[in-house]
Amino acid sequence: MTLTGQTYTCSAGETFDIVAMQVYGDEKYACELLNANPALCLIPMFTGGEVLQLPEIVIPEKPEEDLMPARAPWKEG
């Protein structure tokens, strides 16, 4: 994890998982946000105006087998 220097200003009612979903497209990256912002990690819900440092996260491509098949397996053959 490297910090990109980019920041995110929180709105009232947001949480780390909500920000992770908005910024990275998945709430599972909330842990990386927490690690990059230790001074704010005990805040369960932001009041608005908090500035988060956004770490650079490499989001892997989904493997082909995770994609839906073009045709239902029971219709094969």
Q: Which helix (H) or strand (E) holds 21?
A: helix 16-24
pLDDT value for 5: 77
Band the pLDDT of 72: cuts 50, 70, 90.
Answer: low
The CA distance from 20 to 34, in Å, is: 10
pTM: 0.74
- Count of C-beta atoms within a 10 Å radius of residue 29: 20
Estimate the share of the chain in helix, then strand, then coil, as percent rounded to the nearest 5.
35, 20, 45
**Beta carbons of 62 and 28 less than 8 angstroms apart:** no
